[in-house]
Amino acid sequence: MYKGAMFRDKVAERPRPDHLQSLFTSASVCFAVCILFSATAVAASGFLPARQAMAGETSDPVIEQCTRIGHKLGSVTIRQCLDRKLEDSGARSVNGQVIMMKDYPPLPGREPISRVLLIGGTHGDEYASVSVVFKWMQTLDIYHSGMFHWHVAPLVNPDGLLQRRSQRLNAHGVDLNRNMPTPEWHEKTRKYWDKTRKDPRRYPGEAPLSEPESRWLYEEIRSFKPHVIVSVHAPYGVLDFDGPPAGPRKLGYLHLQLIGTYPGSLGNSAGIQHQIPVITVELPHAGIMPSRGQISRMWMDMVAWLRENTPKQRTVDAYAAFDETTRKLMPSRAIVDETAPASPVAKPKQLLSSEPRSHLSGL
Ligand SMILES: [Zn+2]
């Protein structure tokens, strides 16, 4: 790779600064007009249901979100986002934004080895976690061979990312990676939060699955039944693993370093409680992209590991008891109820984004 390309890769993930933003404005206005035009046409025929999106048409909430992603991220253009043909999952964030998803289904004549759920952008200020998932989708779009059945959601927390000043938390001020059901959630998340001196960036919420984004994720796990979950974060530069042993020792330049689990985290909930392997990819920088070489080495190592190590029998067996495990974790709520209103959330008083990050406390 020539030097210039590498340089571009490495700086590309910074969100576009304001002076660059203005450069994009004229192009964006032009594009937005075109988008509006087509959106109007779509609107005239009524709301585009997810089924149609799955048939290859792009729904307007997806067009709208891709436009915002293209404006926000240096490494994903509007066109690149639209070209991924993401679908409207039907789920909405606190502020009503779509959670986009793409299904890479089994192909004729080939039984997939396993089902894989790949997610990015759980924390809205970890820009590279969204962009790297987009890059991997680009690879999948070309090379999907039916070896695995993939579900990919590059941006779980659209409200966190898609605002002027991106933030880790969702629009209720909740850390989605502390809002998943785990044993004695109320006691343990409170204790943990107290230990962080009530760091607003670690606020777990009022109840497990109080947030629409975490409800979507949990329901997606329950219905898709992935044999492994890959969740991309930043900026600690390690690989973490939870669930039936053992995880990959390395993916590209990231090496396994078991961090331990937090109450309310995805690794604890899906990995430990439901016995679904959770690979947490912690990129080294939130605002700087890995090189193209690293992006592809991580991908190849991941696929090689998935091929050899999934599905794990313990995961397959554990799915038979999924709802029972949920009942134990959330005795007051028998099954995930998508229509249940979110519990009122008391927001912490401190500023949301000025807290220093203590080492490895932010997975
Ligand atoms: Zn994170």
Give tens-digit pLDDT for 16-50.
544 444 333 344 443 443 343 333 333 333 333 44
Q: Which two tokens stand for residue 42?
A: 């779509």
* pLDDT at position 348: 54
pLDDT at 1 over 90: no
pLDDT at 9 over 90: no
Distance 126 CA to ligand 1 centre (A): 6
CA distances from 157 to 186, 309, 311 (A): 23, 29, 28
Separation CA 141–CA 143 (nearest Å): 6
Quick check: 242 and 281 in contact, CB under 8 A?
A: no
Distance 282 CA to ligand 1 centre (A): 8
Quick check: 141 and 153 in contact, CB under 8 A?
A: no
Mean of pLDDT values over 276-303: 98
Distance 122 CA to ligand 1 centre (A): 6
pLDDT digits (tens, 9 = 90+) for 171-210: 999 999 999 999 999 999 999 999 999 999 999 999 999 9
Give the residues across from 119 on adjacent strands.
153, 231
* pLDDT at position 36: 39
Over pLDDT 70: what percentage of the chain?
A: 76
Distance 278 CA to ligand 1 centre (A): 14
pLDDT digits (tens, 9 = 90+) for 59-96: 899 999 999 999 999 999 999 999 999 999 999 999 99
Q: What is the mean pLDDT of the chain?
A: 84
Quick check: 147 and 113 in contact, CB under 8 A?
A: yes
User: Domains plus CATH for the chain?
Assistant: 89-329 (3.40.630.10)
Distance 81 CA to ligand 1 centre (A): 22
Distance 232 CA to ligand 1 centre (A): 8
pTM for the predicted model, two decimal places: 0.81
Distance 165 CA to ligand 1 centre (A): 16
Distance 19 CA to ligand 1 centre (A): 28
* pLDDT at position 59: 83
Distance 153 CA to ligand 1 centre (A): 15
Distance 283 CA to ligand 1 centre (A): 9
| 134: phi then psi, degrees, rounded to nearest 5 | -60, -40
Distance 362 CA to ligand 1 centre (A): 6
pLDDT band at 332 (very low <50, low <70, confident <90, very high): confident
